[in-house]
Amino acid sequence: MKGLVLAGGTATRLFPLTIVTNKHLLPIYDRPMIYYPLETLAGMGIREVMVIVGGKSVGDIVELLGDGRHFGLELTYRYQRGALGIAHAIGLARDFIGDDAFCVVLGDNILRGEPLEPLASQFEGGGWGAGTLLYRVPDPERFGVAELDADGRVLGFEEKPKVPKSDLIPIGVYFLRPDAFDVIAHLAPSGRGEFEITDVLNHYIPGKRLFAPVYEGHWADAGTVPSLLRAAELAEADDKAGRLERPVEWPRDPRD
């Protein structure tokens, strides 16, 4: 599989921290935020990764990560002009992906605890067309919520419902195959002017081709100030307990 990290966006929910920098450069415990999604992909055995950048401090991200050889990764970059949505950002990687299955991780998602390599292998070896990870939260009304049938299959996703049909939400990890690019090419922008990843996932629900296991590890979305703090506390707790995964050895200075 190949990997994508989405590191664009305007990050208005993190103002004023992001007035002069990209949010993916903000620290989460002992390293920049963008290290975490790269570690998630590396933990699946993925080595070829494209980083979709945008917004402020794009050059700083490239300087920080370089070509990835210091980390055992092969990194390449693509620029997303404007906040056009997750599906649009994924569409920029069509030539990079080629004929391979791939995994997308949002740059502000921190996952700890359950290894993802078995889930990636399950998707790649199965007949699913697309996939996401579901996660139980105490406040699903704040998110897009999954509706499931009696067999646990996803019937659809409802955005911020007043009465949630479950406590499961899709988090920022997506498994896709190359035919997803044709789905993206025919999407219409949503009411907020973005091309939505949920529209891509919904395409695969009628044919029962959506892979949607429940993630039993720890997850945080570091897109707001409170969740930024929670993500750092989560990483610190895992580090002190010896559970902080380090599938790649980060150098002290990638320019060395």
- Judged against a pLDDT cut of 60, whether residue 256 lies above it is answered with no
Contact 90, 106 (CB under 8 A): no
Residues 136-187 have pLDDT tens digits of: 999 999 888 999 999 889 999 988 889 999 999 999 999 999 999 999 999 9
Largest CA distance in the chain: 55
Q: Which CATH architecture does the domain made up of 2-240 adopt?
A: Alpha-Beta Complex (3.90)
Contact 254, 70 (CB under 8 A): yes
Among the ranges given (120-124, 153-157, 234-238, 252-256), the one the predictor scored with the smallest mean pLDDT? 252-256
Q: Is the dihedral of CA 75, 78, 80, 86 positive or negative?
A: negative
Give the start-to-end residue ranges of the domains of the chain.
2-240
12 pLDDT band (50/70/90 cuts)?
confident
Who wins on pLDDT, 16 or 183? Answer: 183
Show the tokens assigned to 166. 């479950």
Show the tokens assigned to 157. 């996703």
Residues 80-135 have pLDDT tens digits of: 998 889 999 999 999 999 999 999 999 999 998 889 999 999 999 999 999 999 99
Q: What is the pLDDT of residue 144?
A: 86
- How far, in Å, CA of 167 to CA of 103, rounded? 24
Residue 136 CB: number of other CB atoms within 10 A? 13
Q: What is the pLDDT of residue 108?
A: 95
